[in-house]
Amino acid sequence: MRKIVVGITGASGSIYAIDLLEKLKSIPDVETHVVISSWAKENIKLETDYELKDVLALADVVYNSKNLGAAIASGSFKTDGMVIVPASMKTVAALSIGYTDNLITRAADVVLKEQRKLILVPRETPLSAIHLENLTKLARLGVHIIPPIPAFYNKPQSLADIITHQSMKILDSLGIEHNFGKRWEGE
């Protein structure tokens, strides 16, 4: 069983996290450990038609974002990686300086120190020089930065197609086999 931690922060774009969780739920050998910040809960209400209880039901294990004693706060709890989707610039900044005042940043810090796979889906535009410096610093540490930038070679027909493509890129980075999304097959 592969254990994947998903942190959902208060940046706009909670639908990306929901889509990823739906896809992970359909993969039998993946167990998800989910942390949702208080602002992410607000964004789920503001940006989607999902009820929080329905999003929580997509997770195998749910943690309170203030619980720094949770299993995922320790390197001795083995995971196969973590995705922060969407990743707020506050979270990116905290990670870039090792500031871990909540379970999302603590779990990510653990993933970094244990040299496991960490993926950030930063959701901000335009990006300031500070944002870019923080993201660059994390990329140099091996963090995969996968911003939600739509591709059009796959001729998306709906917003769902664009969101699925983002989930495809995240699952690919995690090394999880799947058949979601339309891939480039050449000319």
The whole domain housing 13 covers: 7-173
CB contact at 8 A, 35 and 8? yes
Give alpha helix (H) positions in 3-102: 14-25, 38-47, 52-56, 89-97
Which parts are annotated binding residues? 10-12, 37, 88-91, 123, 153, 169
Q: Which CATH number is 165's domain given?
A: 3.40.50.1950
CB contact at 8 A, 102 and 70? no
Residue 77 three-state SS: coil
Distance CA 20, CA 95 (A): 22
Q: Give per-residue pLDDT as tens, 6-17.
A: 999 999 999 999
CB contact at 8 A, 103 and 70? yes
Q: How many domains does the chain have?
A: 1
Which parts are annotated binding residues for dimethylallyl phosphate? 153, 169
Q: Is residue 187 over pLDDT 90?
A: no
Cα–Cα distances in angstroms (integers) from residue 73 to residues 58, 107, 149, 170, in the given order: 21, 5, 30, 22
Q: Give per-residue pLDDT as tens, 107-163.
A: 999 999 999 999 999 999 999 999 999 999 999 999 999 999 999 999 999 999 999
Q: Is 69 a domain residue?
A: yes
Q: Is 55 a domain residue?
A: yes
Residue 39 three-state SS: helix
Q: Is 181 a domain residue?
A: no
Which parts are annotated binding residues for FMN? 10-12, 37, 88-91, 123
Percent of the chain with pLDDT over 90: 95
Q: Is 94 a domain residue?
A: yes
How many other C-beta atoms lie within 10 A of the C-beta of residue 101?
10
Which band of pLDDT confidence, cut at 50, 70 and 90, is reported for residue 185?
confident
- Tell me the mean pLDDT in the region 13-28: 98
Q: Is 59 a domain residue?
A: yes
Q: Is 179 a domain residue?
A: no
From its phi and psi, is residue 64 left (phi > 0), alpha (psi between -120 and 50) or beta? beta
